[in-house]
Amino acid sequence: MSNITKRLLPDVLRIPLGDDNGILNSQWHRFFSDLIEGLPVMRSTSITFNPSSIAANTTSQQNVTFNDVTTDDLVMVNKPTHTTGLTVTAFVVSDDTVGIIFTNNTGSAIDPPSEVYKLYAITL
């Protein structure tokens, strides 16, 4: 904790949090606004997706739409079930488009089922 925080925090704690109507005091509002400024923002979406079959020992990129995602974002994908030998990752191809990479680590083709995938984007 910085010296400034040590000095100012006790003063801030003496200020009432809000009024009788639950309205946040303007000084607390500024305090909380400054506190969260610059924190990462996370967004999510769900898509029903039926990936194409992935040949043995290969990868396949399949693109999906994720509104408001940009090339500056970090993205993650969650496939809701386990498929033996299949690895799933994601990256931003372009604004509003995420590439899902399916890697088949087996000697046979894999045809993943249609499922509801969860996509997450973090803006740093």
What is the pLDDT at residue 9?
54
Residue entry with tokens 């994601």: 90
| The predicted structure's pLDDT at residue 11 | 57
Within its chain, how far is the Cα of 85 from the centroid?
A: 25
pTM of the model: 0.71
Q: Which two tokens stand for residue 68?
A: 């408001």
- In which residue are the tokens 């996509």 written? 119
Q: Which helix (H) or strand (E) holds 99?
A: strand 97-104
Spell out the domains of the chain, with CATH numbers in brackets.
Answer: 3-36 (no CATH), 41-123 (2.40.30)
In this prediction, the residues of the chain whose per-residue pLDDT falls under 50 are 1-7
What pLDDT score does 32 carry? Answer: 73
Closest CA to 53 of 114, 118, 98: 114
User: Which of 55, 45, 44 has the alpha carbon at shortest distance from 112?
Assistant: 55
